[in-house]
Amino acid sequence: MRELGDIDAELMTAVWDVVHDDGAQGSTRRVEQLLDERILAMTEPPVAMGR
């Protein structure tokens, strides 16, 4: 699973693309995917190191 900071950085770029590309469909879908991934990352229990 990716780190929240990595997801957030990509999410900010995707939102920028939507705003500056008049809400292009591909960009909008990418924002939705990243938000779903972020929610999952926040709700997943932490995994112990070394497993």
User: What pLDDT score was predicted for residue 8?
Assistant: 92
Residue 47 has pLDDT above 80, yes or no: no
Segment 14-36, tens digit of pLDDT? 888 888 876 567 778 888 999 99
Give 1-51 as a DSSP string. Answer: ---HHHHHHHHHHHHHHHHHTTS-HHHHHHHHHHHHHHHHHHHSPPPPTT-
pTM of this prediction exceeds 0.75: no
Distance CA 46, CA 33 (A): 21
User: What pLDDT score was predicted for residue 18?
Assistant: 81
Question: For all residues of the chain together, what is the average pLDDT?
Answer: 81
User: What pLDDT score was predicted for residue 36?
Assistant: 92
